[in-house]
Structure 1
Amino acid sequence: MLRLSKKAEYALMALKDLALRPEAEAASARQIAERYAIPVEVLAKVLQRLARQHLLVSQHGTHGGYLLARPASRISVGDAIEAIDGPVTITVCSSADDDCDQYATCNIRDPLWRIKDQIVQALTSYSLQAFATDELPLVPISVSRRTSEQRLPVVRVPIDGR
């Protein structure tokens, strides 16, 4: 099943925390880690990676810590996840690094790639600001499944006039 890594979850927790702070108020890795019961060493590495990916900036000094590198409205949830976990992949062949023996004959590759593209689109359409304020837009997902209450009626067709 598709699942974020724990480090990606920590990244989103930290980014949400920073997005909810006043604009110029930095927070240290220790402050954020203690607030959410995250191991400080792990969170420090996550925040450093987010800074290397230009999602955060670090300030040094007595009031140092991390700040968002740009407004929360211009950082997507997808940006944060990709910074930590890399590109979203749901099949071996959706990653440029991997090779698949069935690539030429695969009958599920294209539909799964389209699903992956929809997942990426959903993640990149949610800004950190919307994520932080719990104002995520609803993403329509069309599902055509019948429940047991929606069974088709049974129609009896006479065979040979009977």
Structure 2
Amino acid sequence: MLRLSKLTDYGTVIMTHMAREPARVYSAAEVAGAVGVSVATASKILKALARKELLQSLRGAHGGYLLARPPAEISIAQVIDALEGPLGVTECSVGAGQCMQEGSCAVRGNWQRINQVIHRTLSNLTLEDMAQPGFQPVVDDSGIRSGSEAYR
């Protein structure tokens, strides 16, 4: 089963929450309360996202965090990458030299294709899309269409 870590799951929830009012500055405590995680967890996630320049960190009495770019310019793939590292269904789909079976593996190319489809889909899904209530991907015979227009 493919599964993201809890921190990455919470990270997407936090970023989606912030995308609903992208010009606002949010404190860690405020975000924690809004999404139902501890302040320590929210702080850890916010700091990691700020290190990867998806959030801006502001110091001072009115400090906190805000999105570094408009929600339409931040993809779910970027959020996952910031919290988990490069997206890979299998180790060999991330890069060469990760598996001893690589040279003789009959399915490596297929896993790489699957990884590319998943990455492309997550790259085309933005925080703006996620912030829309009840959006659903549009699927046709060729798979999920690319671009935000594919989500309603």
TM-score by length of 2: 0.85
Greater C-alpha Rg: 1
Partners of 1:104 and 1:30 lie apart in 2 by 50
Structural mapping, 1:14-93, within 5 Å: 14-21=14-21, 23=23, 25-93=24-92
Helix, strand or coil for the counterpart of 1:67?
strand
Structural mapping, 1:1-162, within 5 Å: 1-21=1-21, 23=23, 25-96=24-95, 99-134=98-133, 135=135, 137-140=137-140
Q: Could you tell me which amino acid in structure 2 is paired with residue 63 of structure 1?
A: H
Q: Is the 8 A contact 2:28 2:46 kept in 1?
A: yes
Higher helix share: 2
Q: Is the 8 A contact 2:22 2:71 kept in 1?
A: no
Q: Could you tell me which amino acid in structure 2 is paired with residue 138 of structure 1?
A: V
Q: Which runs of 5+ in 2 are unaligned?
A: 144-152
Distance change in 2, residues 1:22/1:114 (3 Å): closer
Q: Is the 8 A contact 1:29 1:65 kept in 2?
A: yes
Distance change in 2, residues 1:136/1:51 (3 Å): farther
Report the more deviating stretch, 89-98 or 102-111.
89-98
RMSD, aligned CA: 1.9
Partners of 2:65 and 2:28 lie apart in 1 by 8
Distance change in 2, residues 1:139/1:50 (3 Å): farther
Partners of 2:7 and 2:44 lie apart in 1 by 9
TM-score by length of 1: 0.80
Q: Could you tell me which amino acid in structure 1 is paired with residue 14 of structure 2?
A: A
Deviation (angstroms), 1:22: 5.4
Q: Is the 8 A contact 2:22 2:70 kept in 1?
A: no
Partners of 1:15 and 1:130 lie apart in 2 by 12
Q: Describe the superposition over 1:16-63 as per-residue Cα deviations: whole angstroms up to 9, x where unpaired.
A: 11111152x211111111122212112211111100111000112222
